[in-house]
Amino acid sequence: MAKVVILSGAGISAESGISTFRDSGGLWEEYNIDEICTAGCLDWNYDQTIEFYDKRRLDIKDKLPNKAHIQIAALKEKYPDDIAIITQNVDDLFEKAGVDEVLHLHGFLREIRCMECNYLEDIGYTKLKDNWEDCPMCHNKLRPNVVFFYERAPKYEDMFLEMDDCEMLVVIGTSGNVINTDMFLTSKWSKSTVKYSILNNLEPSVAINDKLYSKVLYKKASVAIEEIVEDIENFLNVT
């Protein structure tokens, strides 16, 4: 497992023009979130849910990685075995920046999977509705490979495994409302080996106790990234 874990949220992609359901305006205001992002919605609102994620997939097609993605990608290439990149985001900006190994905790927007046999396919930025009738393996319905609210997120198990050996934790662009990153820095996380931690957000969040972190940077990820990269390299070269 890697010594350094970089855990990112929506804030790192915001500078590339990708919005979340917490933002006002745009695609998210065209739909009722409870009807297209909640467990069970595919059972009673399948067509509209598929339509929404088809639009989201098309929306990320032209979005480009920003300075933070690019510098993290370069760092991962330089220290492939020492750095793990984990993201709550379903976009492909890290992949566009050149990262081959990204742990997507909440799924990957370019992928679809079968609701029955879990057949998985990367369809890029195409529409599921227009190009796929059913699963090519078992002929059941297909869905976006994205974790809806109240659905189980199986990749969390992989995140906890990474954290078992983590010595430096870098948190970028997350409010802490979905994943309580503080837990990795407290005694409640019995296996934690974190020696140094960095929190980078635009502003304080009521869900995060910033006093737990070794360094706190309240600024855009693209502005903070050079200092973060320098700290990571210094940490890796000393330990």
Instruction: Give tens-digit pLDDT for 42-95.
Output: 999 999 999 999 999 999 999 999 999 999 999 999 999 999 999 999 999 999
Q: What is the pLDDT of residue 6?
A: 98
pLDDT confidence bin for 191, thresholds 50/70/90: low
Both structure tokens of 125: 């930025």
Over residues 219-229, mean pLDDT: 98
In 83-165, beta strands by DSSP E: 83-87, 103-104, 107-114, 120-122, 142-146
Flag whether pLDDT at 27 surpasses 60: no
Structural element, H or E, at residue 95: helix 93-97
Flag whether pLDDT at 190 surpasses 90: no
Flag whether pLDDT at 24 surpasses 50: no
Closest to 84 (Cα-Cα) out of 165, 5, 163: 5
Between the CA of residue 15 and those of 1, 3, 230, what are the distances in Å?
Answer: 30, 27, 21
Cβ neighbours of residue 50 closer than 8 Å, sequence gap 6 or more: 128, 129, 143, 144
Sign of CA dihedral 57, 63, 68, 69: positive
Between the CA of residue 70 and those of 74, 92, 102, 172, 226, what are the distances in Å?
Answer: 6, 12, 14, 14, 11
Q: What is the pLDDT of residue 33?
A: 81
Flag whether pLDDT at 161 surpasses 60: yes
Check 69, 104, 106, 139 and give the catalytic one: 106
* pTM for this prediction: 0.94
CB burial class (10 A; 0-12, 13-18, 19+) of residue 125? Answer: middle
Q: What is the pLDDT of residue 234?
A: 97
Both structure tokens of 237: 């070269």
Sign of CA dihedral 46, 51, 54, 55: negative
Closest to 170 (Cα-Cα) out of 199, 147, 194, 146: 199
139 is catalytic: no
